[in-house]
């Protein structure tokens, strides 16, 4: 049994204020039928006993959504955390609370647990951060009666038809490869994301740019995760397999790129004089790396805000907003340069 006192109820407020529960309900709902002195007395009673309302009950009475859910597999990494912040900021502006459900895996039990978490609460709707395999599994499992949007387009072949906000990773891959090609690189290698969904977009953009320039492309090394250690291992493998042919590496994200830079340096080579390295996402640390990292900027916070705006319109039954695309931008720093004349093809 809990040692904490019970949560105060509407009846407790009415008793403390010396009014009826109907009067308290009217005060909570902001009704104009209550005298100002009575309203003040009720609010003072609420403050005194620590009553903050019941969001689920209020939503049932008013029919207005007071909270939303976020489904994600990660809350700490930069892209995830920034997107969550953007969603939360949009919700806060509408006086809505946010429930975060973390997916623990893509297996059936983990998916059911995540779906159960959001379906069992009185949520107005849900944003699924469809960034990885776990989210791909959850999105089609959410009941149709829950208004749901995807922060990034659902993976190809998923059969999911939910409104989404697009983060154009494919165009980001194109920008990265075209930058390296314009610098003169002719043998460009890829450390790809761990995500194995069909047509993973970042690497696809790089390879299509190489095809466009009629340049060879080599099998991508797929990172085991988004961490620097994966970038280090991937770059070591490329240097082992291809040696001096490696003049540029396009990486899954900035953390992977930082690991790749370390691997190049540990071989006695230099970045960018011997090997250029380009990242993806524009992590806040990218500008302060040594050398500062050239990367593809993705505005995750805007992605979150647009996702919330889309969900809010869906909940209200309003026309869905036209602005549903976040474009990538190339940020050139010091980790890329023309290839060394003694390296490459």
What is the largest distance, in Å, between two alpha-carbon atoms of the chain?
A: 88
Confidence band of 162 (pLDDT split at 50, 70, 90): confident
Confidence band of 32 (pLDDT split at 50, 70, 90): confident
Confidence band of 133 (pLDDT split at 50, 70, 90): confident
| Averaged pLDDT score across all residues of the chain | 88
Q: Which helix (H) or strand (E) holds 330?
A: strand 329-331
Confidence band of 314 (pLDDT split at 50, 70, 90): very high
Query: Where do the H-state alpha helices sit in 33-96?
Result: 36-49, 55-62, 78-93
Evaluate if residue 250 carries a pLDDT over 60. yes
pLDDT value of position 207: 94
pLDDT value of position 186: 95
Of residues 115 and 262, more confidently modeled:
262
pLDDT value of position 58: 56
pLDDT value of position 239: 96
Evaluate if residue 64 carries a pLDDT over 70. no
Mean predicted confidence (pLDDT) in 74-90: 93
pLDDT value of position 105: 83
Evaluate if residue 154 carries a pLDDT over 90. no
Q: How many angstroms separate the CA atoms of 262 and 299, rounded?
A: 26
Considering only 43-47, 49-53, 119-123, 217-221, which range has the smallest mean pLDDT?
A: 49-53
Q: How many angstroms separate the CA atoms of 165 and 152, rounded?
A: 5
pLDDT value of position 206: 95
The strand pair at 67-72 and 126-128 is best described as: parallel
**Chain centroid to CA 193: how far?**
15
* pLDDT tens by residue, 291-312: 999 999 999 999 999 999 999 9
Q: How many angstroms separate the CA atoms of 149 and 303, rounded?
A: 12
pLDDT value of position 57: 55
Evaluate if residue 2 carries a pLDDT over 90. no
Mean predicted confidence (pLDDT) in 13-36: 87
* pLDDT tens by residue, 214-226: 999 898 999 988 8
pTM, two decimals, is 0.80
Evaluate if residue 44 carries a pLDDT over 80. yes
Q: How many angstroms separate the CA atoms of 121 and 118, rounded?
A: 6
pLDDT value of position 99: 92
Confidence band of 155 (pLDDT split at 50, 70, 90): low
Q: What is the dihedral of CA 171, 207, 243, 290, to 10 degrees?
A: 0
Q: What domains can be seen in the chain, in order of their start residue?
A: 10-53 (1.10.260.40), 67-168+300-326 (3.40.50.2300), 169-298 (3.40.50.2300)
Confidence band of 119 (pLDDT split at 50, 70, 90): confident
Q: How many angstroms separate the CA atoms of 13 and 338, rounded?
A: 72
* pLDDT tens by residue, 177-200: 999 999 999 999 999 988 766 457
């Amino acid at each position: 049994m809990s040692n904490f006192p019970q949560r105060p109820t509407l009846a407790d407020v009415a008793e403390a204020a010396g009014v009826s529960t109907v009067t308290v309900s009217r005060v909570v709902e902001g009704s104009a039928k209550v005298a100002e002195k009575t309203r003040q007395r009720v609010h003072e009673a609420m403050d005194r006993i620590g009553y903050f309302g019941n969001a689920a009950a209020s939503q049932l009475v008013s029919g207005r959504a007071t909270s939303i859910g976020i489904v994600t597999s990660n809350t700490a990494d930069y892209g995830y955390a920034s997107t969550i912040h953007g969603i939360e900021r949009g919700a806060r502006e509408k006086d809505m609370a946010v429930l975060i459900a973390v997916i623990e895996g893509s297996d059936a039990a983990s998916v059911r647990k995540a779906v159960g978490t959001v379906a069992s609460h009185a949520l107005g709707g849900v944003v699924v951060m469809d960034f990885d395999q776990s989210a791909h599994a959850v999105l089609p499992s959410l009941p149709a009666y829950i208004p749901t949007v995807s922060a990034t387009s659902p993976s190809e072949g998923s059969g999911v038809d939910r409104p989404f906000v697009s983060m154009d990773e494919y165009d980001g891959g194109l920008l990265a490869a075209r930058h390296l090609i314009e610098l003169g690189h002719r043998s460009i290698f890829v450390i790809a994301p761990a995500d194995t969904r069909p047509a993973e977009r970042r690497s696809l953009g790089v390879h299509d740019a190489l095809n466009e320039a009629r340049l060879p492309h080599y099998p991508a090394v797929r990172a085991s995760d988004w961490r620097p250690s994966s970038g280090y291992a991937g770059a070591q493998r490329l240097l082992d397999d291809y040696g001096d042919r490696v003049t540029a590496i396009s990486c899954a994200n900035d953390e992977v790129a930082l690991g790749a830079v370390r691997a190049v340096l540990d071989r006695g080579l230099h970045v960018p004089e011997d090997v250029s390295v380009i990242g993806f996402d524009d992590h806040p640390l990218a500008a302060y790396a040594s050398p500062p990292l050239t990367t593809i900027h993705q505005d995750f916070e805007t992605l979150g805000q647009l996702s919330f705006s889309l969900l809010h319109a869906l909940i209200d039954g309003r026309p869905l907003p036209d602005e549903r695309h976040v474009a990538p931008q190339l940020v050139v720093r010091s980790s890329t340069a023309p290839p060394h004349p003694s390296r490459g093809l």
